[in-house]
Structure 1
């Protein structure tokens, strides 16, 4: 004689609770995406420069908090001819509108689904500045599938308009500031920085005085020096 099966399936209450939790999660994600997509337009209407700076800085900090990097044994330093580490942390600079602006690229667990998608996972996030019709805009790229090289484009969500400065520096293990970084390069020990400092400036509305915000983000997830040999 056999006893009752241990697998009784889900009860109605468990299903109801699961559906409720999923609804809350999707509502939160939807709200976050609407804030990101519409934030720049709303801030333009209110003219609140401090809010624009604060909102953009918070998004950068949120993404850095979810930073993902491969650790040993998943990560092993390769040869220079190998494919790039898809989870690399890079900081470069380019001239936009006559000013030098940073391009910050890393992978994060804080992917923001959009377009009706509910997919989650590790995403490539890139913060960069574009210029269109004489106006500079800070944008945020978020891609779950990032095997193809990143290409700056105007289709990425706008974080802030009227950007006059977007300067990112990395803090190394000796406390020195570095204007560029590449965790896939021996020159940086194949490591990630200890912290990231972001400076963001915005031109005032109607020719008024501008504002600047600065924040330092220690990285909770980082990879120490990992050279070959």
Structure 2
């Protein structure tokens, strides 16, 4: 009987031991499985950090995109301003290369009417609150704007006009002979806007540089410049564009001795 009880007690002990072992294995499995889920998942803080980083990236990308679009618009406007100034400068150069200094075969240089008609006059004038150069000369580069068939030697005048406050433009007056007293007209073609500076420099027979010229004056003795330099500056906020050129005059008149 005692042996039987002992055997039964041993079985009971084994059953208890097996049950404890099973519970321990189950606990270990649950612990490992739970840890695996924690390592595979995301906490709320991690999700918020990820959203914050993503928002920074998106904001940076859109800011860069807007900056590119704004720069593209600025570049296009700057190119348009440059083309306008370049076309104006090229027009002045073409007119100066076709300059007319005297009548072919005419030697009566003492004639006031002749010298007055084909004189070259460069001066600095006050326009609004600024000073600009103004140039008057005769040229074969007449531009027919009224669809007429008249050709000849034209009186050309380049001058600056203020159309709004601190908004200056360059106009080109073109008149065929007989030349009338010069008067600014709104119908004169507008060659350049947003003009900041227009300067002409004149180089005479003595190779000196002058800020002005008057071929009728005693100082220049009815002579014409051998070269004229042009400096045109236009506003292109926040910067400005400066174009310069030197034109050698193909026909000139020497100073009277």
- The TM-score with structure 2 as length reference comes to 0.65
Would you say 1:118 and 2:149 are equivalent positions? Answer: yes
Which gives a bigger RCO, structure 1 or 2 (Cα 8 Å, sep 6+)? 1
* Equivalent position SS for 2:185: coil
Distance (Å, rounded) in 1 between the aligned partners of 2:99 and 2:111:
24
Residue 202 of structure 1 is matched in structure 2 by 234
Higher-helix-fraction structure? 2
Change (3 A) 1:55 1:126: same
Is residue 2:108 matched to residue 1:76? yes
Residue deviations 1:10-50 (CA, integer Å, cap 9, x gap): xxxxxxxxxxxxxxxxxxxxxxxxxxxxxxxxxx9786222
- Runs ≥4 residues deviating over 2 A: 44-47, 75-80
Give structure 1 stretches of 5+ with no counterpart. Answer: 1-43
Matched, 1:190 2:222: yes
Larger radius of gyration: 2
Among 168, 175, 181, which residue is 1:143 paired with? 175
Q: How does 1:29-178 map to 2 (within 5 A)?
A: 48-70=80-102, 74-78=106-110, 85-134=116-165, 135-178=167-210
Cα deviation for residue 199 of structure 1 reads 0.5
RMSD: 2.1
Is the partner of 2:117 in helix, strand or coil? Answer: coil
Q: Would the alpha carbon gap of residues 84 and 220 (structure 1) be closer, same or farther in structure 2, given more than 3 Å must change?
A: closer
What is the number of residues matched between the two proteins?
181
1:174 to partner: Cα distance: 2.3
Native 8 Å contact 2:155 2:179 kept in 1: no
